[in-house]
Amino acid sequence: MNTTLEDQPEPAEFEVIAGNPFLDGLPTPPRTCAAAINLLNDTARSRRYVNSAAPVHEDVLRNAGSVYCATAVDGTILTRLLSAIADSYEERDIRRKSALVMALRVNQLLYTPRAERIRMELQRRAGTVRGLSPSNAENEIRIPNTQPRALLVKAPLRMGRRTLASLLEEVIGAGYRPITLDGNGGAIRSIQLRVVRISWPNDGTVKGLVHEFAAAIDRIAGRNNEFVELVRLGFKTAGELEIAMQSVALAANVGTLFVEGINVSTTKSSECEQIWNVLATFTRKTGIVLVCFATPAAAALGLQKYISVIGDLTTLGTHELIPSRTCSNHWHQVCKANFNAFVRPVTGNDMPEWLPKLLLEVTRGRNSLVKASLQHVAMTLLESGLDKLEEKHFRKYLENAVEPYRESFEALTMVADKTVRLTYTSLQTFGDMFTSVQAEHLRVKPLLDE
């Protein structure tokens, strides 16, 4: 039996595994939060590019992804994620008959032409059902006795959501892995994609979500739009698309799905409720780990209206990356790590004692803005030939770097001071900068009958 990509070009050797093939090489969850933090920080440092010659602009930009100072929140996310992925793969061990039957079913659904599926279903249902429906027992894609596994990671803009997602992907294992398993009926060939990353669809539709998911798998596995074409030609209705997404994920043996870019501006379409429902159903029926990276405002505005799916989307907890408010030890670490990565190679000097306080004021405690502003300073120093800056000049360059966010910061101040009432337009413009505490102003207050 060949699962999923039977036409996948063979590498030089297929890896033969006696045990559960999906757990082979999967990192063990760290025993402590401190160990998880160190693992993330070490992964970031391993990306560091060091040029023995004089630094140039490219060196400054190349190290953008090599600086991350993980917190206990990040460590918790990594630990729970690795544990949940291993648990999910245990359920889908294809040495089990039930898992093997499901592998056959998803392949049949994917590779049977739509017209033929409808004809067969019409015969079974005496013409009462047209097309696939997730509620039909014959068509249902569900791992037996599975459970939803999902984390909601909330972070306002410029807090390092993409960097964290990239580090998690690297620790778990990116790319695809061809595997084979010897069984009584012969060799079973398959592939494994531990991490698939997609963005919330720009058009805000279920069709956009499923097509982006299929495209991501084609891209990772090196396919020539195979799954995209299967989905485009064979699955039309919302119910069919939902089944297609579950089938493709199980056929490719996905470990975890990251849905990124969940912002206020991208979650305002009329189909957003359907997308949240599709994602909740996806993890509930497949047991595949789902991680949604959302701004607190997008989560507050989106999920408060769809309370029925919140439980499935947060079974592994809700975690927030919060901007620093004081010059804590961690904030000093963030500033020093970024200074050493970008500015010190240019100047050869240590970080000034006054810099963390200045960065806290200018960036409002947002990690990614520290990185962006110090990159700007480093390139300015390279262009001017200087090797140091006084505090007032440092402030000038830092403020220039964060100028695009000036109006957003003003909006944050007014919301905090409760000096203005947010309009719908201002919410769409500035809402993604809010923390959860600030996003509380956006919640609809329930009106109870007396």
Least reliable range by pLDDT among 40-44, 92-96, 106-110, 145-149: 106-110
Question: DSSP strand E in 98-137: where?
Answer: none
344 or 302, which is more confident: 344
Sheet holding 176-183, edge to edge: 15-16, 176-183, 186-199, 254-262, 289-294, 149-154, 318-320
How much is the pLDDT for 434? 87
- Compute the distance between CA of residue 283 and CA of residue 288 in angstroms, rounded to an integer: 5
Whether the Cβ atoms of residue 179 and residue 2 lie closer than 8 Å to each other? no
Arithmetic mean of pLDDT over the chain:
82
Q: What is the pTM of this model?
A: 0.86
| Tokens of residue 315, six digits | 């079974």
Whole-number Cα distances in Å, 235 to 107, 113, 211, 217, 231: 14, 9, 10, 17, 5
- Compute the distance between CA of residue 2 and CA of residue 252 in angstroms, rounded to an integer: 12
How much is the pLDDT for 65? 76
Chain region(s) in the chain for CATH 3.40.50.300: 15-30+71-320
How much is the pLDDT for 417? 67
353 or 221, which is more confident: 353
In the predicted model, is pLDDT for residue 284 greater than 90? yes
Least reliable range by pLDDT among 127-136, 228-237, 368-377: 127-136
Whether the Cβ atoms of residue 235 and residue 222 lie closer than 8 Å to each other? no
Give pLDDT tens digits for 124-170. Answer: 444 444 444 544 544 567 888 899 999 999 999 999 999 999 999 99
CATH 3.40.50.300 fits 15-30+71-320, yes or no: yes
CB atoms under 10 Å from CB of 251, counted, come to 24
